[in-house]
Amino acid sequence: MARKVSAKKPLAGNRRSHALNATKHFQKTNLQKVTINGKSVRLSAREIRTLNKANKTGEIA
């Protein structure tokens, strides 16, 4: 099973109808399974992009 590394949480807000009724709404994070150093972890898509960019520039050794 993949280990959750990301600390991101769902974004909460309200849906508004034309009558301005408010109902709770959550946007879930975009978590993906990735294998890093032989271990399966769950990271957000944004974090994966950041890691890929850092690897290309040589910032992560």
Where exactly are the structural domains of the chain? 9-57
Residue 61 carries which DSSP code?
A: -
pLDDT more than 70, % of the chain: 97
User: Does pTM top 0.95 for this prediction?
Assistant: no
Q: In sequence order, which residues have a C-beta less than 8 Å from that of residue 10 and are 6 or more positions away?
A: 26, 27, 28, 29
C-alpha dihedral, 39 to 45 to 51 to 56, nearest 10°: 120
The pLDDT tens digits for 2-60 are: 787 888 899 999 999 999 999 999 999 999 999 988 899 999 999 999 999 988 887 76
Q: Is 52 helix (H, G, I), strand (E, B) or coil?
A: helix
